[in-house]
Amino acid sequence: MKQTSISIKGLRKSFGKKGDQKEVLKGIDLSIERGQIIGYIGPNGAGKSTTVKVLCGLLTDFEGEIEVSGLPIRKNELAVKRLIGYVPENGALYEALTPNEYLNLVGVLFDMSPALIAERSTSLLQYFQMQEHADQRMDTFSKGMKQKILIIAGLINNPEILFLDEPLSGLDANSVILVKDLLTKLSAQGKTIFYSSHLMDVVEKISSRIILIDDGQVVADGTFDELRQDSKASLEQVFAKLTGANRSESETSVLDEVFKN
C-alpha cells in the first residue's frame, strides 16, 4: 500500500501588510507519495521557494492544511523538522567554522550521538570529495564547496523527506552527477525528494513526477511523458508552452532591432 509523505490542501500564502498584501500561493492541493522524486518547477516568482519554506516550517503564517509524514505541521513543527532535510540555494554557513565543526553543530541540534555524527560526516565528506577540507575554515571555500557542505548538512540526520531549493547552485559537472546519483539512491530507499529547480534537464532526468506551478497555482502535474503528451518536446518546451514563456513576434522584433548592428 502506498504511503502519503506530504499532503497539502488549500495552501495559500500572502506577503505584505494587511490591506496591501500580495498573494503568492493561491490554493495548492497536492498529495505526494513516499519514495517519489518531485520536480517542482515554475517561472521566477511562481511560488516555488515559498512552498518549500512553508513545508519546512520556516514560514508559519499560511492558510490551508499540511501534513508531513502524517503529522499536521501546525501542531508538530519540531517533530516535522526532525524528519526532514533542507538544502537552500543560498544557505548561511558559520564560515568561521570548519566542515567538521559545522556538521557537529547540526548533528547536536538533531540530538545525534557524537559517534553517529562523526560516522556520517566522514562518509558524506568522502562521498562529495571534501574530506581533505574537513578541518579547513569555510571562509576560504568556493561557492561550490560551500554548497556541498549545505547538502551534507541536509543529509546528516538521514531525513525521511529531503527538500532541495536549487541545490546544484555553484556545483561543477562532476558534483552534479554525484547529487543526481545520490537522489536516485535515496528514492530507492523510500525517501521522498522535493526538488525545486530551474534546471530543466536535471528535473527531466531524475523526477518520477513533475509539478509545474505558475502564478501561485498548479498548472501541470504528472510524469514527463504525461506532460509532453506523446510529443517529442523537451521539458523546457513544455514549460514554455504551459507558462506562456514563448517570445511573441513583437518581443522578438524588439530584440532584432536592438541587435541589428
1-47 pLDDT, tens digit each: 678 999 999 999 999 887 788 999 999 999 999 999 999 999 888 99
Q: pTM of this prediction?
A: 0.88
182-239 pLDDT, tens digit each: 999 999 999 999 999 877 888 888 899 999 999 999 999 999 888 887 566 778 787 7
Contacts of 30 (CB under 8 A, 6+ apart): 6, 7, 8, 211, 218, 221
Q: Strand locations in 209-260, DSSP E? A: 209-214, 217-222
pLDDT at 258: 64
Structural domains for the chain: 4-92+158-258 (3.40.50.300)
Q: Measure the CA–CA gap between 220 and 143, rounded to whole angstroms.
A: 33
pLDDT of 249 strictly over 60: no
Show the cell assigned to 258.
536592438
